[in-house]
Amino acid sequence: MEEMQSIGLFDSGLGGLTGFRALRKLLPGRDLVYFGDTARVPYGSKSREVIRRFALQDTRFLLSQNVSAVLVACGTVSSNALDLLEETFDLPFVGVVSPASEKASEIARAKNGRVLVLGTAATVRSNAYKDALLRIDPTLEVRQAACPLFVPLAENGHTKKGDIAATAIAKEYLEPFSAFRPDAVILGCTHFPLLSDVIADVLPGPVQVSAGEEAARTMAALVGDRAGTGKDTFFTSDDPVAFGEAAELFLGAPVERAFHTDIEAY
Amino acid sequence: MEEMQSIGLFDSGLGGLTGFRALRKLLPGRDLVYFGDTARVPYGSKSREVIRRFALQDTRFLLSQNVSAVLVACGTVSSNALDLLEETFDLPFVGVVSPASEKASEIARAKNGRVLVLGTAATVRSNAYKDALLRIDPTLEVRQAACPLFVPLAENGHTKKGDIAATAIAKEYLEPFSAFRPDAVILGCTHFPLLSDVIADVLPGPVQVSAGEEAARTMAALVGDRAGTGKDTFFTSDDPVAFGEAAELFLGAPVERAFHTDIEAY
């Protein structure tokens, strides 16, 4: 592989930064380029056709930044457009569906074989995680829950255990699966790890699998690290100052290099 | 005015249908064309620059449909881009800020002169309602509350009085203004009338002013009705089938003519 080129990541907005953070830890020497489509966020409530069109634009932009591989750090895009990206572009892609499904199936097979998938409306509609899990092991029992309000709750800071609104909404989405007693819960949208404590409070027991973190592990194994100090570069389709401020909450450190790009031109 | 031309309305998504419904009642003979930018919804969490760019595209699209006047049925666009639209295009615009501010000031001046403005983050940041109210009467006392989760709550059906999540979030946003005891509350985003009962439950007393309905009255007075049976035409930047289904909830009747348009081409 071209040792000097960057690794690209993209997401509808900020959620993919959970994958970015994990990848930075695993590849401290690599240059990473992140694009967050904050002008058009969220993707999870939109149609498959729109998601696929946006995914092509996002990837074309990252290619203009000379990335040599792309981590699709968005559950909705990974579920609805990974096949299209792989057909269209000649470089390696890592989505979040396969890595998380591998991990969850491993956990479930050591116990009672039950997996619950949490995702956006578009992710659940695609059945991408369910299909991947059943390809790995057709004997798994898989349930899916669309959690459309988790992204706006996370983006607006309703993430703490005991938050009344977040807990009420988590109960609405998750209590129907209490009797199912899943062994593993896939947090199939890269925003959802922010709500990890709320989810565990409402549905205690299962191991939570972060789709962004598992994808970062797969990407790190694929490209490997290199010597040196990795550079972080962030692009957003909306205001880079607001992006940098919001990103700090996800990354735990200030964002130094954030730039605007007009994604509709790609 | 060109008697045969249509009246256009646009919004980031579905919220503007509250204004559409009011305008249809007032102008039964007029042809109305509605555009909802459901591929890029919501606008209220985005920057002023992005909102202004999207507003230009939305208006260019409506002009391609030969509208003779435009109701900007979106609180965020009315607050952040009405000046730009009026400078750029040679046709009459009615936004939601002035009509609602007139109505609220009238109510407040008959009582204690206190108005509370509820809007998206971008609307509150713009101070558009506050400035309009103080231009009408500098002695008014005006407070503003950003309610970023009201749009996703409304779009996901959390609108009934007693809804635990909606009530908890409404309390967070509105209880700080209980002591202010407003005479009028401007529902400054066209989604917010869906949460009317929840808002009244948390903040009983003030008269609620629907920005979309007041703007419809202003537009109706400006253009007048004409004889005949008005035709409704709906366009969306995402899936027209999903748009039609969701729109029925706002309009109380099936949507017959919904079409897709690629808004990024405008």
* A67: CATH: 3.40.50.1860
Q: Is residue B1 part of a domain?
A: no
Give, to the nearest 10 degrees, the angle between helix B128-136 and helix B97-109. Answer: 50
Peptide bond into B42 cis (omega under 30): yes
Interface of B with A (CB under 8 A): 38-41, 45-47, 49-50, 148-149, 152-153, 155-156, 158, 164-166, 168-169, 172, 237-239, 242, 264
- CB contacts < 8 A (A, B): 66
How large is the greatest C-alpha to C-alpha distance in chain A, in angstroms?
A: 51
Picking from A158, A169, A263, A266 by the largest number of B CB atoms within 10 A of its own CB, the best residue to mutate is A169
Q: Is residue B141 part of a domain?
A: yes
Are B116 and B191 within one domain? yes
Q: In angstroms, what separates the C-alpha of A246 from chain B's closest C-alpha?
A: 12
Residue A44 CA from chain centroid, whole number: 11
Would you mind telling me the total number of residues written for chain B in this entry?
266
Answer yes or no: is pLDDT of B3 > 80: no
Are A86 and A218 within one domain? yes
Amino acid at A87: E
Are A155 and A191 within one domain? yes
Beta strand ranges found along chain A (DSSP E): 6-11, 32-36, 67-72, 93-94, 114-119, 141-146, 184-187, 207-210, 232-236, 258-260
Are B14 and B146 within one domain? no
Contacts of A40 (CB under 8 A, 6+ apart): A12, A54, A237, A263, B39, B40
CB-nearest to B149 from A148, A156, A237 is: A156
CB-nearest to B39 from A38, A50, A148 is: A50
Cβ–Cβ < 8 Å for B130, B99? no
End-to-end CA separation in angstroms for chain B: 25
Q: Is residue B43 part of a domain?
A: yes
**Catalytic residue numbers of B?**
74, 189
Amino acid at B47: S
Query: Minimum mean pLDDT among A20-29, B61-70, B187-196, B248-257: which range?
Result: B248-257
Final residue of a structural domain among B196, B211, B226: B211
pLDDT of residue A155: 86
Amino acid at A138: P
Task: Give the other-Cβ count within 10 Å of B116's Cβ.
Answer: 24
State whether A40 and B45 contact (CB < 8 Å): no
Would you mind telling me the total number of residues written for chain A in this entry?
266
**Catalytic residue numbers of A?**
74, 189
Are B126 and B191 within one domain? yes
pLDDT of residue B250: 85
Q: Is residue A1 part of a domain?
A: no
Find the Cα–Cα–Cα–Cα dihedral B209, B43, B247, A48, rounded to 10°.
-170
pLDDT of residue A2: 45
CA pair distance A75, B258, nearest whole angstrom: 29
pLDDT of residue B2: 45
Final residue of a structural domain among B188, B211, B234: B211
How large is the greatest C-alpha to C-alpha distance in chain B, in angstroms?
A: 51
Number of domains making up chain B: 2
Are A223 and A125 within one domain? no
State whether B239 and A168 contact (CB < 8 Å): no
Q: Is residue A22 part of a domain?
A: yes
Residue A187 CA from chain centroid, whole number: 9
- Residues of chain A with C-beta less than 8 angstroms from the C-beta of B57: none
Across B1-25, average pLDDT:
88
Are B115 and B200 within one domain? yes
Q: What is the mean pLDDT of chain B?
A: 95
CA pair distance A10, A34, nearest whole angstrom: 6
pLDDT of residue A4: 65
Are A153 and A230 within one domain? no
pLDDT of residue B1: 44
Are A49 and A69 within one domain? yes
Residue B4 pLDDT level (bands cut at 50, 70, 90) = low
Are B207 and B104 within one domain? yes
Q: Is residue A129 part of a domain?
A: yes
Final residue of a structural domain among A167, A191, A211: A211
Range of the domain at B131: 97-211
Are A61 and A129 within one domain? no
Supply A243's token pair: 């992006």
Q: Is residue A2 part of a domain?
A: no
Residue given tokens 């490209």 in the structure block: A223
pTM to 2 decimals? 0.93
Phi/psi-derived region of residue B69, left when phi > 0, alpha when psi is between -120 and 50, beta in every other case: beta
CA pair distance A34, A19, nearest whole angstrom: 10
Over its length of 266 residues, how does chain A's per-residue pLDDT go in tens digits? 444 689 999 999 999 999 999 999 999 999 999 999 999 999 999 999 999 999 999 999 999 999 999 999 999 999 999 999 999 999 999 999 999 999 999 999 999 999 999 999 999 999 999 999 999 999 999 999 999 999 999 988 899 999 999 999 999 999 999 999 999 999 999 999 999 999 999 999 999 999 999 999 999 999 999 988 899 999 999 999 999 988 987 898 889 889 999 999 99
- Phi/psi for B254 (5° steps) reads -65, 150
pLDDT of residue B231: 94
Cβ–Cβ < 8 Å for A76, A44? yes
Residue given tokens 């305008």 in the structure block: B23
Q: Is residue B226 part of a domain?
A: yes
Cβ–Cβ < 8 Å for A43, A76? yes
State whether A39 and B46 contact (CB < 8 Å): yes
- Residues of chain B with C-beta less than 8 angstroms from the C-beta of A165: 149, 164-166, 168-169, 172
Cβ–Cβ < 8 Å for A64, A263? no
Interface of A with B (CB under 8 A): 38-41, 45-47, 49-50, 148-149, 152-153, 155-156, 158, 164-166, 168-169, 172, 237-239, 242, 264
Three-class DSSP category at B217? helix
Residue B257 pLDDT level (bands cut at 50, 70, 90) = confident
Are A111 and A79 within one domain? no
User: Which 8-state DSSP code applies to residue B230?
Assistant: P
